[in-house]
Amino acid sequence: MRQLRWIFTAAALTTTCAMAATAPQPAPAHAAARGASGIDLAGIDHSVQPGNDFDNFANGTWKKTAEIPADRSSTGIFLEVFQKTEKRNADLIQGLASGKTKADAGTNNRRIADYYTAFMDEATIEKRGLEPLQPQLKKIDAIQGKADLARVLGEGLRADVDPVNATNFQTEHLFGLFVSHGLEDASRNIPYLLQGGLGMPTRDYYLSDDKAMAETRGKYQTYIAALLKQAGIADAEAKAKAILALETKIAKAQVDIVDSQDIHKANNPWPMDAFVKNAPGLDWNAYFKAAGLDQQKIVDVWQVPAIKALSALTASEPLQAWKDYLTFHALNESASLLPKAYADLSFGFYGQTLSGTPKQRDRWKRGIASTNNALGDAVGQIYVKQYFPASSKQQVEQMVKNILAAFDERVNNIDWMTPATREKAKAKIASIRVSVGYPETWRDYRTLEIRPDDALGNQQRATKYEYEHQLAKLGQAVDRGEWWMTPQTVNAVNLPLQNALNFPAAILEAPFFDPKADAAANYGSIGAVIGHEISHSFDNLGAEFDAQGNLANWWTPEDQAHFKAAGQKLVEQFNAYEALPGLHVNGQQTLGENIADVSGLAIAYIAYHKSLGGKPAPVIDGLTGDQRFFLAYGQSWREKIREAAMRQRVIGNEHAPGRFRAQTVRNLDAWYDAFQPKAGETLYLAPADRVKIW
C-alpha cells in the first residue's frame, strides 16, 4: 500500500478562475534541453562537490533559475511530465466537449463531454447556488437523535481507492472504507474501516505546539466561519470555534502515521456484533445499514484505538456540534463545484495557507482534473490509444524483466541471508505481477448518469458509483490484475496485497523514459522507479507479505534481525536531514520509501550494466555511463517547493522530500567510484556505514 507519489503538491481542486474551455495550453514549465546523454547538462552546478551535496551538484544551476508556477506549490520533473499529460488530456476532453470529436449519446465519450461541460458552466453553477447541496443539508438538519446521526454518518462513508493512503487515510468523513483481501486470507475481499474526520491534513495540525501550526489552526477557524457565513448560517463564529474543538478531539482520538503503518496493528477482523461491545457510542447497526455493509460478516478495524475513541465521541459530544460539523464538511467537500465565492474561500485556505500557492488554477485545468477523477478509465482508454505506442510498452516491459532478474540475482548474492529465507524471497520475486501502461479490463460506466448542466450532481454520482464499485468486490475473489491508478496518472504503485505492480502510461515519458535515450539515463530514471516499486515488495511493509499476498512471517529470526538493523540505520540517516529550520525528516515514517529508494537504485544499477551486454559504456557529453546513471537519478528528484507545502509533506507524508531522496546515492559503492567523494565530505559514508538492505 505504498507508491511513488507525485512529488509535487497540486493546488487544491477548490480553486476557480473564469477561463474559456478553449484556453491556450502552456508549454511544460522548466523543460530542460538535454544532450545526447539524456542529462540536463546546463542544470548541473559544478561549483558544488558531489560528495557534499549531490542534489545541488546535479540540480543547483537549474534551481537558481527555475520558478514555481503561481498556481503550484512546487516544481520539478514530476510537474514537467504532468503538464505534458495535462495538455494531452485537455486536447482529448475539450475535443469531445466542443464537438470536434464524436461523442454519441450513451457512450463514454458523451459522459466525458457532459462532465467537463457541466464543470465549465459557471453561469449555471452561480444560478443554482446551494440548491444541489440542499438534500444533504436537509438530512443533516433533520438529525434528532443518535440513530439519525449514525445513519447520516453511514451514508457519508466513502471508499479509499488510493492504496498508499490506506495506511494514512484521511477523509472529511468520520470513517473511511478500504476494500481488499483479508490480511491472512488472500482469497476473498473484505471491508476495512479506517480513521478519518479531519479537515486539515493530519492530526499534527491540531495538536502540535509549533508556532506555524498554531497560526494555521487560527486561519482554519477563520475559514470555517467564513464558509458558514457565505451559506447564510447564523452564529458562524461560535459554530466555527465549536467545530474546530470537535475536530481537535477527533485528532486526539486518531493514531499517528507510524502506528497506522504497522500492518500487524491493522489485523483486527471484528464480527459485526462485536462493534457494540468493542467500540460503544455509535449506533453501529444504523451506521452499517446506511453504509450498505450490514450484510457483511466481519469488518477489519485498521486503527482500533481510533475507531473506539471516535465512536465514543459520537455519544459524548453534543448533537448540535455534530450537526454543525457535518454542515461545514458538506460545504467544504463541495466547494469547488459551488458558486465562485465558496471556491475562492476554499482556495484561500487549502491552496494559499496550507500549500503557499498564490494563484488559483485556471478553471479549465480543474475541469480536466475533475473529469479524470470521475471518469478515469474512460479518459484512460482514449489516452493510451492516442499517446502510448505498443513499442514503448514492450520496451518498458523488457526493462522490468531485466530489473526483476537483477533483484533475483542480488538475493542470490546476499551473504547474510539464510537459504530458507532466500528461497521464500525468490518465490515472491517470481510471482510478482507487473502491468505496464494500462489495465487489461476497463471500468463499465453505463450505470453512471452524467448531465451537462449538473456539475455537483455529477461529482456526487461519480463518488457514489465508486463506492458501489468497491462494495461489489466484497466477498468476491481477488482480482490480481486490478489497477489502482488510471493510465494518465504520473505515478507508479506497488500493491503488497496483490503482489503486483502498476506502471501507468503517463509516467513512461521523457525524461523518466525516452525510447531514444541512452540506457544509462533510462535506467537511472525510470529504471530506478521500477526498482523502487519492486523493492516495495520487500520493504518494512512489503516484507511482511508472502508470495500469495498473505500476512505471513517468512523470515528466519536471524535474517529478520539483520533486516531490521539495516532499516534502523536508514531511519537514523534520514532523521538527520533538516527540511526546514527545526523540522527534520521522520526516518521511521519514511522508512518504507527510503528502503525502496536504496534497493531500487541498487538493482537498477545492476540491470543497467547487464543491458550493456558485457561491453563498456560509452562516454557521452564527457560523462561515463555510471556518472550518467546517477545524474539521471538525481535529476529525477529535482524540485523547488514552497515552505508551507514542505511543512505539510514532512509532517504528513511517508515520502521524504525529493532533495533528500536524491542523496540516496551515498549508500551505493558505485557512486563513490563514479564521483570520487572523499572522507570528511558531507555525504561520505565509510563502507561499513553504507546501508545495504537488498
Domain assignment present for residue 221? The answer is: yes
Q: What is the DSSP string of 365-433?
A: HHHHHHHHHHSHHHHHHHHHHHH--HHHHHHHHHHHHHHHHHHHHHHHT-TT--HHHHHHHHHHHHH-E
What does the pLDDT read at residue 18? 30
Average the pLDDT over 32-50 and give the result: 90
Residue 168 confidence (pLDDT) above 70: no
CATH code where residue 425 lies: 3.40.390.10
Residues 6+ apart with CB under 8 A from 188: 181, 182, 475, 476, 477, 478
What does the pLDDT read at residue 187? 84
Do 505 and 621 belong together in one domain? yes
Domain assignment present for residue 266? The answer is: yes
**Which range of residues forms the domain containing residue 380?**
81-129+362-387+441-480
Residue 550 confidence (pLDDT) above 90: no
Domain assignment present for residue 661? The answer is: yes
Return d(Cα 266, Cα 635) in angstroms, integer.
37
**Local confidence band at 207 (pLDDT 50, 70, 90 cut-offs):** very high
Please tell me the least confidently modeled range out of 132-146, 174-188, 242-256, 583-597.
Answer: 174-188
List, in sequence order, the alpha helices (H) in 41-197: 54-65, 77-98, 108-120, 122-128, 134-141, 146-155
Last residue of a domain, one of 480, 504, 530: 480
Q: Buried b vs exposed e over 256-277: b needs ≥16 C-beta within 10 Å? A: ebeebbebeebebbbebeebee
CATH code where residue 196 lies: 1.10.1380.10
Do 206 and 323 belong together in one domain? yes
Average the pLDDT over 128-153 and give the result: 97
Average the pLDDT over 234-249 and give the result: 98
Tell me how crowded residue 446 is: count the other CB atoms within 10 A of its CB: 10
Residue 440 confidence (pLDDT) above 80: yes
Domain assignment present for residue 11? The answer is: no
Domain assignment present for residue 29? The answer is: no
Do 158 and 208 belong together in one domain? yes
Return d(Cα 543, Cα 539) in angstroms, integer.
5
**Local confidence band at 360 (pLDDT 50, 70, 90 cut-offs):** very high
How many domains is the chain built from?
3
**Local confidence band at 365 (pLDDT 50, 70, 90 cut-offs):** very high
Do 644 and 513 belong together in one domain? yes
Residues 6+ apart with CB under 8 A from 36: 518, 620, 621
- Strands 500-504 and 269-271 turn out to be unpaired
Do 456 and 492 belong together in one domain? no
Residues 6+ apart with CB under 8 A from 157: 173, 175, 176, 177, 290, 291, 293, 467
What does the pLDDT read at residue 42? 96
Average the pLDDT over 3-16 and give the result: 25
Q: How many CA atoms lie within 13 A of 32 on its CB side?
A: 30
Q: Is 278 exposed, middle or buried (0-12, 13-18, 19+ CB in 10 A)?
A: middle
Q: Which residue has the higher pLDDT, 3 or 474?
A: 474
Please tell me the least confidently modeled range out of 159-173, 244-258, 483-497, 609-623.
Answer: 159-173
Average the pLDDT over 343-350 and give the result: 97
Do 621 and 663 belong together in one domain? yes
Domain assignment present for residue 192? The answer is: yes
Residue 160 confidence (pLDDT) above 90: no
Residue 581 confidence (pLDDT) above 90: yes
Do 569 and 533 belong together in one domain? yes
Do 188 and 260 belong together in one domain? yes
**Portion of the chain with pLDDT greater than 90, in percent:** 84
Q: Supply the pTM of this predicted model.
A: 0.91
Do 396 and 375 belong together in one domain? no
**Local confidence band at 169 (pLDDT 50, 70, 90 cut-offs):** low
Residue 152: φ, ψ to 5°? -65, -40
Average the pLDDT over 335-358 and give the result: 97
Do 414 and 401 belong together in one domain? yes
Q: Is 516 exposed, middle or buried (0-12, 13-18, 19+ CB in 10 A)?
A: exposed
What does the pLDDT read at residue 162? 56
- Residue 233 Ramachandran class (φ > 0 left, ψ -120 to 50 alpha, else beta): beta
Q: Of 625, 693, 89, 659, give the one whose Cα is nearest residue 374.
A: 89
**Partners of 583 in the beta sheet?**
580
Average the pLDDT over 519-530 and give the result: 96
- Length of the chain in residues, anyone? 694
Do 109 and 59 belong together in one domain? no
What does the pLDDT read at residue 332? 97
Average the pLDDT over 455-465 and give the result: 97
Residues 6+ apart with CB under 8 A from 123: none
98-129 pLDDT, tens digit each: 999 999 999 999 999 999 999 999 999 999 99
Residues 6+ apart with CB under 8 A from 569: 689, 691
Amino acid at 582: G
Task: Tell me what the pLDDT averaged over the chain comes to.
Answer: 92
What does the pLDDT read at residue 288? 98
Last residue of a domain, one of 453, 480, 507: 480
Residue 74: φ, ψ to 5°? -160, 170
Do 320 and 369 belong together in one domain? no
Instruction: Tell me the three state secondary structure of residue 195.
Output: strand
Q: What is the DSSP string of 441-492?
A: S----TT----TT-HHHHHHHHHHHHHHHHHHTTTSBP-TT--SS-TT-S-E
**Local confidence band at 32 (pLDDT 50, 70, 90 cut-offs):** low
Last residue of a domain, one of 455, 480, 505: 480
The H-or-E segment that residue 217 falls in is helix 211-230
Domain assignment present for residue 351? The answer is: no
What does the pLDDT read at residue 416? 87
